[in-house]
Structure 1
Amino acid sequence: MTITTEAFTVQPFTRSCHHIWDEGAHVLIGVSPGNSYFNAGRITELVRWASARFSRIDIVYADLHVAELFSALGYEEDHAARRASKELKAVRRRILRGVEEAGPVVPAGVHGLSEFAGNPVYALLHRRVRHFLATDPVFRAGCEGMAAHFLSTKVGEPAADARQLAACLDYIAAELPFFLDTPGILGVPSSVSAYHAPIPLTELLYAKGGGLRASRNQAYAVVRPEGIAA
């Protein structure tokens, strides 16, 4: 079911996700560095929208394995490190500026993934992701599909090599704990992970049966501005 608000359309992935959306306890806004979608104005709009509907907001941006990914894409090691540092500083500035301009009336945290290295729930979930990457062919195929799609936009043809694929899988694995159990990581009763496009692994993470699955109080929703297709 699609929910239309004054600024965004929202597509909770399942009926349970819709219920968690209705609870309005917490929303996690994931931000990708280097993605032009996440300009300061868009972040301001998202935070204003979220602060009217949720009791708490957290924005998390990916700051792990970025330099390694640039290096795998062919940058010299020093250049890769400098470019990663530049992009991460820029995305953090944009987020902070967007939050400040939004003036949220609820708590709004801004975090890099690296801040959770010492979080025991995040660490456990990350180990589980790595375990399933090594042992579950279906899960690995889904992750490799995500990685291949991302890399195709960077390297084109021929297909990505093994080093590029490994670097991209490390990047994805660092993000996935927040799609599995944000409530456990952040200590909130329930949470909606919001992103502007469908994540290919969502079908698997919310499927019935065994394997790596999102927690019962974890939701996922595609949230995008009116008029922009998912």
Structure 2
Amino acid sequence: MAAQYTMVSGVGRSDRDRAIIDSGESIIFGLSTFNGWFTAPVIRGCIYWAVKHFEHVYALLPGPEAALRFTSAGMPARRAVGKVIKAVHEHRRVARSALMDAGYRDPDQNVLVWTRFAGNARYTELRSGFDRALTETPALRTVTRQVLAQVLANEFPHGAPDYAIDANTPYISAEAPLFIDGAAVLGHSSLTFAYPRPFPVYDLLESGAVPSLALSSHQGFALLSVQDGEGNPR
């Protein structure tokens, strides 16, 4: 592990999340390519921390849906897709290298893009269920729109208009299966989804407020933080 890295760790915020984390079965990092928190040293730190605690470690990267944030703000589609591809390739390179450092002989099997799941029956079922619940459940629709407004803050500094939020809904639904029942999608007994800030959509589903779209009992969430030299969050 010669490459520079930042110390990172993750914690569960509920008894359920902590129990799934403690099981040490599998974890997947939602590597948002345009979230500045995920620098190369931090991505390496995520991987290096995870391999000490989990049997299976994955990095998840966005698909073409990530370009919607730019096209909805007026960027030409070709340029927007190119911007996403460049960012995804860079994050993939770092995650792949870190997994190899950690002993994964075929890291390409563990660095995943949303499009990888196009033929996965459970993924398809969950994504359709999420889209359906958005139309049927006002609370889920409200929370999802609030999350998207934050995602689009850089493109729309004075507030994202409704049309842009609507256009970017696939950005959430493409990832939703991995934080609803990612264990079944990936074929594990349990899975922890890891991200550096609380995710209101997950919290709503965990509360049971969307009966048609309950979280799997095998799904957990870890809140990531950068650590100082003594292992304390900073």
Matched with 1:96 is 96
Q: Which amino acid aligns with 1:76?
A: P
Q: Distance in 1 between matches of 2:23 and 2:78?
A: 47
Partner-residue secondary structure (3-state), 1:155: coil
Identity across the alignment (%): 25
Q: Is the 8 A contact 1:126 1:176 kept in 2?
A: yes
Q: Is the 8 A contact 1:204 1:213 kept in 2?
A: no
Q: Is the 8 A contact 2:9 2:224 kept in 1?
A: yes
Distance 1:153 1:51, change over 3 A: same
Unaligned runs of 5+ in 1: 1-6
Matched with 1:73 is 73
Corresponding pairs, count: 224
Q: Is the 8 A contact 2:33 2:88 kept in 1?
A: yes
Q: Which amino acid aligns with 1:198?
A: P
Matched with 1:135 is 136
Q: Distance in 1 between matches of 2:47 and 2:103?
A: 8
Q: Which amino acid aligns with 1:150?
A: V
**Structure 1 residue ranges, 4+ long, deviating more than 6 angstroms after superposition:** 105-108
Q: TM-score w.r.t. structure 2 length?
A: 0.87
Q: Is the 8 A contact 1:132 1:139 kept in 2?
A: yes
Q: Distance in 2 between matches of 1:59 and 1:117?
A: 17
Partner-residue secondary structure (3-state), 1:96: helix
Give the deviation of 1:104 after TM superposition. 5.2
Q: How does 1:53-64 map to 2 (within 5 A)?
A: 53-64=53-64
Give the deviation of 1:84 after TM superposition. 2.2
How big is the alpha-carbon RMSD for the aligned residues of Structure 1 and Structure 2?
A: 2.3
Q: Distance in 1 between matches of 2:13 and 2:98?
A: 27
**CA deviation string 1:130-151 (max 9, x = no partner):** 0011111111001001011222
Matched with 1:217 is 218
**CA deviation string 1:13-52 (max 9, x = no partner):** 3211111111111111110112232222222221111111
Matched with 1:167 is 167
Matched with 2:118 is 117
Moved more, 86-95 or 26-35: 86-95
Q: Which amino acid aligns with 2:145?
A: E
Matched with 1:86 is 86
**CA deviation string 1:136-172 (max 9, x = no partner):** 1111001001011222232111x32233112321101
